[in-house]
């Protein structure tokens, strides 16, 4: 269908833009089609103009343009073939997975090529209907997106709330108050509990780095379901989002199993701790390293709202950068003087 509409759009474009057709030609063609084929849908004057726009907007990114002769052979209408767009960012399967109404929604409300690719991608992987797509475009998800790998756009609604959640968290956190060198243990033996204790001891500093409107509810926060106990590393409440935020610390590279664990925690929190007026709980994996494209791929299959971020300490900074920073004692003295 997309190929057919693209081919019709080309034919109409070439005959209307060069002046060979009169101004009422499209209306006349539409009326003739309705008379010749009663009940035929999709060929109103406005939709034929949409086909023309569809062709004209994507023409620069298509390798081979179907010719007018492709449209009819021996009186039969043929589906012309659109070749792979030349820009590598566009996934051809995702492009073809959307219906014409989705494409026109994107074309009519966006102008930037990368923005259109963004909405095509998210529409495809999250199976948005036309009205959900319209809501996200209106909320300007593209401009308000975060580099933080997350599934907020599919797990939270409305769109404005999902965007607000996305903007709340960062992809990377610098926890400069954690000084592993002063902990008296080899770095390879530092585990999540040690990092957690350092955060709790410096909880005010952590919240400053974490963001605004966070309230600390506790560490190793105990939850229970069906007689099974579980403990959340760090639990916060965010006043702006009106929800609990569960944080799991991992002193290593991201693993998919971490999402399974966090997904269970969020289910129990929502079923046993969340107040009726609160929004669904959000989870955050805070790890030392991650393969972002891999995380983006894995996290999309979860229904609970979750994100993955990384953290680093002054120990992780290069020697040149560390030397460039002022000494903490000197800085404190300057501030007090």
Instruction: Give the pLDDT score at 314.
Output: 67
Tokens of 32: 């003739």
Distances (CA, A) of 122 to 58, 91, 287, 302: 19, 11, 25, 15
Distances (CA, A) of 175 to 223, 279, 316: 27, 28, 10
Name the more confident of 36 and 178: 36
Instruction: Give the pLDDT score at 154.
Output: 87
258 and 192 together in one domain: yes
Distances (CA, A) of 268 to 154, 221, 304: 20, 12, 11
Q: What is the CB-side half-sphere exposure of residue 178 using CA atoms within 13 A?
A: 24
Q: What is the mean pLDDT of residues 141-147?
A: 75
Q: Which of 26-35, 183-192, 215-224, 309-318 has the lowest mean pLDDT?
A: 183-192
Establish if 303 belongs to a structural domain: yes
Number of domains in the chain: 2
Give the confidence band of 321 by pLDDT, cuts at 50, 70, 90.
very low
Q: What is the mean pLDDT of residues 120-126?
A: 86
Q: What is the mean pLDDT of residues 202-217?
A: 88
240 and 314 together in one domain: yes
Cis peptide before 95 (omega within 30 of 0): no
d(CA 275, CA 242): 10
Instruction: Give the pLDDT score at 75.
Output: 42
Q: Which of 130-134, 137-141, 303-307 has the lowest mean pLDDT?
A: 137-141
Establish if 337 belongs to a structural domain: no
Q: Looking at the predicted structure, is the pLDDT value of residue 273 above 60?
A: yes
Reduced to 3 states, what is the DSSP secondary structure of residue 220? strand
221 and 312 together in one domain: yes
Establish if 124 belongs to a structural domain: yes
179 and 74 together in one domain: no
Cβ distance 176 to 312 under 8 Å? Answer: no
Q: How many residues does the chain have?
A: 337
Establish if 104 belongs to a structural domain: yes
77 and 208 together in one domain: no
Give the confidence band of 187 by pLDDT, cuts at 50, 70, 90.
low
Q: What angle do CA 163, 166, 169 make, to 5 degrees?
A: 150
Q: Looking at the predicted structure, is the pLDDT value of residue 25 above 50?
A: yes
99 and 235 together in one domain: no
Cβ distance 83 to 63 under 8 Å? Answer: yes
Instruction: Give the pLDDT score at 147.
Output: 74
CATH of the domain at 258: 3.40.1350.10
117 and 209 together in one domain: no
123 and 185 together in one domain: no
6 and 143 together in one domain: yes
Round the average pLDDT of the chain to a whole number and report it: 82
Instruction: Give the pLDDT score at 261.
Output: 96
Which pTM does this prediction carry?
Answer: 0.62
215 and 131 together in one domain: no
Instruction: Give the pLDDT score at 323.
Output: 53
Establish if 215 belongs to a structural domain: yes
Q: What is the mean pLDDT of residues 151-180?
A: 85
127 and 179 together in one domain: no
Q: What is the mean pLDDT of residues 256-280?
A: 97
Q: What is the mean pLDDT of residues 249-273?
A: 96
Establish if 154 belongs to a structural domain: no
Burial 202-218 (b: 16+ CB within 10 A, else e): bbeebbeebbeebebee
Domain that holds residue 233: 172-319
Domain end position, chosen among 85, 115, 148:
148
Q: What angle do CA 220, 225, 231 make, to 5 degrees?
A: 10
Give the confidence band of 337 by pLDDT, cuts at 50, 70, 90.
low
Domain end position, chosen among 148, 163, 184:
148
Residues 6+ apart with CB under 8 A from 9: 51, 52, 53, 54, 55, 56
Give the confidence band of 333 by pLDDT, cuts at 50, 70, 90.
low
Establish if 160 belongs to a structural domain: no
Give the confidence band of 303 by pLDDT, cuts at 50, 70, 90.
very high
Establish if 37 belongs to a structural domain: yes
Q: Which of 14-28, 125-139, 179-193, 305-319 has the lowest mean pLDDT?
A: 179-193
Reduced to 3 states, what is the DSSP secondary structure of residue 171? coil
The percentage of the chain sitting over the pLDDT mark of 70, rounded to a whole number, equals 80
Instruction: Give the pLDDT score at 97.
Output: 92
128 and 239 together in one domain: no
Q: What is the mean pLDDT of residues 180-187?
A: 52
Distances (CA, A) of 305 to 124, 151, 155, 167, 308: 19, 6, 5, 14, 11
Q: Using one digit for the tens of pLDDT, what is the confidence trace for 38-75?
A: 777 888 999 999 999 999 999 888 754 444 444 443 44
């Amino acid at each position: 269908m997309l190929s057919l509409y693209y081919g019709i759009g080309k034919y109409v474009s070439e005959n209307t833009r060069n002046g060979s057709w009169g101004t009422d030609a499209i209306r006349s063609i539409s009326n003739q089609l309705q008379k010749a084929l009663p009940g035929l849908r999709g060929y109103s004057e406005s939709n034929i103009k949409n086909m023309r726009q569809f062709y004209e907007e994507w023409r620069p990114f298509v390798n081979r343009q179907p010719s007018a002769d492709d449209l009819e052979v021996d009186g039969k209408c043929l589906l012309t073939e659109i070749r792979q767009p030349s820009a590598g960012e566009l996934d051809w399967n995702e492009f073809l997975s959307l219906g014409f109404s989705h494409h026109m929604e994107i074309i009519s409300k966006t102008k930037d090529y990368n923005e259109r690719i963004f909405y095509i991608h998210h529409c495809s992987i999250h199976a948005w209907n036309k009205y959900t797509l319209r809501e996200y475009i209106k909320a300007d998800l593209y401009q308000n997106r975060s580099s933080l790998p997350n599934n907020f756009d599919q797990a939270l609604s409305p769109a404005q709330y999902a965007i607000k959640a996305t903007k709340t968290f960062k992809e990377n956190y610098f926890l400069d108050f954690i000084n592993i060198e002063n902990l008296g243990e080899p770095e390879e033996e530092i585990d999540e509990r040690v990092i957690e204790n350092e955060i709790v001891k410096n909880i005010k500093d952590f919240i400053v780095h974490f963001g605004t409107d966070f309230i600390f509810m506790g560490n190793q926060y105990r939850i229970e379901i069906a007689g099974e106990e579980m403990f959340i590393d760090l639990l916060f409440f965010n006043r702006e989002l009106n929800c609990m935020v569960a944080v799991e610390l991992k002193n290593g590279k991201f693993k998919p199993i971490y999402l399974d664990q966090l997904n269970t925690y969020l289910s129990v929190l929502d079923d046993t701790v969340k107040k009726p007026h609160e929004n669904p709980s959000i989870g955050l994996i805070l790890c030392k390293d991650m393969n972002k494209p891999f995380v983006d791929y894995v996290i999309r299959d979860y229904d609970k709202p979750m994100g993955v971020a990384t953290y680093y300490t002054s120990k992780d900074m290069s020697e040149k950068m560390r030397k460039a920073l002022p000494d903490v004692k000197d800085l404190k003295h300057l501030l007090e003087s």
